[in-house]
Amino acid sequence: MSGTQLRLDRLFDKKSGKSVIIALSNAMYFGPTPGMQNNDDIRKVVTGAVDGNCDGVMVTPGGLRANLDLFSGRGGPAIILSAGYTSSWRPTDRFGGGGSAHRMSTITSVEDALRMGADAYHIYSFLGWKDPDREAEELGLLGRVCEEARACGLPVICEPLARGDAVDPKDYNSTENVALMARLASEVGADVVKVEYTGSPESFGTVVEASHAPVVMMGGAKTDTYDEFLTFLDGAMSSGARGVAVGRNVYSQDNAAEAVSRAAAVVHKQK
């Protein structure tokens, strides 16, 4: 068994084969935000997520260093290091703009991620460009990261997004585009792909079937109610998804432990 598989086994529940990942990297893009205003908030969410039986936490290098004690010891959550920075999600009224270039740079190396104790390495891949060189650049970066990570036994979780200038914004999460993104990322070598929900169990099943790698649903923007998010999650899981990576829909809740516990009940009930 490879080191990559050993680390993946830490991320996916042994009985169900599924995973609930709490994503706490949004502050790197948004800055202080409700539920993530400061490190006390982060510690509260991580503690609640662990109490709610999450399987992994996606965290930035700085967030991990500031809260190592919450991840140490037996029973701690798997660590997914958020290693890709982009200004794509930043509000356009901050730092003179953002939210449109859809470029990513890695902020820490695969080797440094291992030194920090990571169980997986998360990056984005923005695809769908009119310029073939830009498309090749994105997939080339993903390929190099996958090669470096494979040599070290570190799984790569890729979040491929159809955000290039050849894609109409109304089609960002179309079944065809999301399935293509999942397939491309898995063909290049990603061990797990994290993708947008396409709106129905039937359409998301097409995405799951298109990928060589396990598919986890992206939590996405905060829904009007938490029950609405759970409905989407149930649809994804019934389609064959292997789990969820969710941020805003959890850390915006008053009780993170309860929110994670309810998500875990949906994820792990599917056998």
Q: How far, in whole angstroms, is CA 209 from its chain's centroid?
A: 19
Angle subtended by helix axes 256-269 and 226-238, to nearest 10: 20
Q: Which of 194, 222, 269, 271 is an active site residue? A: 194
Q: How far, in whole angstroms, is CA 172 from its chain's centroid?
A: 17
The alpha carbon dihedral of 265, 263, 104, 175 has a sign of positive
Please say if 194 is a catalytic residue: yes
* Residue in the structure block whose two tokens are 């009930």: 269
Tokens at residue 176, please? 């065809």
* Rounded distance between C-alpha atoms, residue 176 and residue 179, angstroms: 5
* Short-list 139, 242, 143, 263, CA closest to 193: 242
Helices (H), 82-225: 110-115, 132-152, 175-188, 201-210
* Rounded distance between C-alpha atoms, residue 215 and residue 68, angstroms: 28
Query: Coil, strand or helix: which one is 114?
Result: helix
Bridge partner residues of 106 (DSSP): 84
Residue 195 parent element (H or E): strand 192-195
Q: Which residues are catalytic?
A: 194
